[in-house]
Amino acid sequence: MTAISTSGLTKRFRGGQLAVDHIDLAVPLGSVYGFLGPNGSGKTTTIRMLLGLAYPTSGTASLLGVPMPDGATTVLHRVGSLVEGPAFYPFLAGADNLARYDAADRTADPATARARITEALDRVGLLAAAKKRYRHYSLGMKQRLAIAAGLLRPRELIILDEPTNGLDPQGTREVRALIRQIAADGTTVFVSSHLLAEVEQICTHVGVMRTGKLVFQGSLPELRRTGASRVSVQTADPEAAAKVLTGLGLADAQATEAGDVQAGDAQAGASAILGDASPEQVCAELVQAGIGVRGFAVVSPSLEDLFVGLTGEGFDVSG
């Protein structure tokens, strides 16, 4: 059984826009799954379908083995969630807000409500603000209260949609620590973010969305393996060096002229995908071919580079 699985899950908005395009999610039990993608790539729409808030146009989804949205009332009490930012009654105090959501849960035990609310508030460090009206909460407090609502009962799965949105670095760190703690209890965590850096340290698995499509899914090491290491040579004769690299059978050989600021290096040189070749041999061949080698390096792409490669550059939100 998986914590979350979808098959061909698709959502087309009434305007005709394809928000989610045949995605097949597989979130293993016990994993911390980072659901990544730029804003507008379909993450929130997917989460809304997972929680039965929106109905798929086609495809299926299941939570903890129970099909959604039909199984909403039988499975959602085992799932905690934060969807598109916190939402509470501004005129109620923090604890009263949690009591309200707890009262709506037909499977929650009213006798333990008070104790569970106190515990949830304590876990997110809001016990001191329990009696304060939500209206007067800071953004970070609101976010934490929303997480507390997800922790009102022992959950098997927690779905957090952009839990660090709008938080300062300190708040982001706190949320990250909280997620680690939740995961340590054996709860599967599904956390969406548009920033890889925010979840990279805590995730065991990632799924990457781009314009409604799931363009990668797997463990972090698997993501790393998709990135090809490149050899990079600094030389005064880039063209000749690139020719040698191509001659060695290396793919994507490129020459970089001095002052070409692309990729940030002003050094003249050449680079190519290393593939199965040994760097030592490549270096020797270059020298043998009479290329004046000033510097030689094997560069592995960072996760960030891979992520950007998958999702496109910052503002390049297609659709």
Partner 1 sequence: MSAGRFYASELRLVLLRRRNLLLLAVTAVFPLIIGIALRLAAPRPEGGDGGSGLAFFNQLAGNGVFLTFIALSTLLVLVLPVVVAVVAGDSVAGEAGYGTLRYLLAVPAGRTRLLAVKYGVIVTFALCATFIVSAVALAAGAALFPVGPVTLLSGTTVSLAAGLLRLLFVTLYVTAAMAALGAIGLAISTLTEHAIGAIATLMILVVTSEVIDNVPQLHAAGPYLPTHWWLSFDSLLRVPVDTSTLLRGLLSFAVYAVLFGSFAWARFTSADVTS
User: Contact residues for partner 1 (CB under 8 A)?
Assistant: 48, 51-55, 72-73, 76-77, 79, 81, 83-85, 87-92, 99-101, 103-108, 110, 149
**Residue found under tokens 């927690």:** 158
Name the residue nearer to partner 1 (CB basis): 28 or 52.
Answer: 52
Nearer to partner 1 (CB atom), residue 53 or residue 220? 53
Least distance between partner 1 and beta carbon 293 (Å): 59
Tell me the closest approach of the beta carbon of residue 267 to partner 1, in angstroms. 51
CA-to-CA distance for 245 and 289, rounded, in angstroms? 10
Cα–Cα distance, 279 to 203 (Å, whole number): 32
Please, what is the minimum distance in Å from the beta carbon of residue 208 to partner 1? 25
Q: How far apart are CA 149 and CA 139, in angstroms?
A: 16
Residue closer to partner 1 (CB basis): 192 or 217: 192
**Rounded CA separation 280/299 (Å):** 14
Identify which of residues 41 and 81 has a Cβ nearer to partner 1 in the complex. Answer: 81
Q: Rounded to the nearest whole angstrom, what is the least distance from the CB of residue 11 to partner 1 in the complex? A: 9
CB-based burial label for 111 (10 Å; 0-12, 13-18, 19+): exposed
Residue number, 107 or 300, with CB nearest to partner 1: 107
Shortest approach of partner 1 to residue 42 CB, angstroms? 14
* CB closer to partner 1 out of 89 and 226: 89
Q: Which is nearer to partner 1, 103 or 177 (CB)?
A: 103
CB of 85 to partner 1, least distance (A): 7
Nearer to partner 1, 135 or 180 (CB): 135
Smallest separation (angstroms) from partner 1 to the CB of 101: 6
Least distance (Å) from partner 1 to the CB of residue 186? Answer: 21
Judged by CB, which is closer to partner 1: 51, or 233?
A: 51
SS (H, E, C) the chain: CEEEEEEEEEEECCCCCEEEEEECCEEECCCEEEEECCCCCCHHHHHHHHCCCCCCCEEEEEECCEEECCCHHHHHHHEEEECCCCCCCCCCEHHHHHHHHHHHCCCCCHHHHHHHHHHHHHHCCCHHHCCCEHHHCCHHHHHHHHHHHHCCCCCCEEEEECCCCCCCHHHHHHHHHHHHHHHHCCCEEEEEECCHHHHHCCCCEEEEEECCEEEEEEEHHHHHHHCCCEEEEEECCHHHHHHHHHHCCCEEEEEECCCCCHHHCCCCEEEEECCCCCHHHHHHHHHHCCCCEEEEEEECCCHHHHHHHHHCCCCCCCC
Q: How far is the CB of 95 from partner 1 (least distance, A)?
A: 13
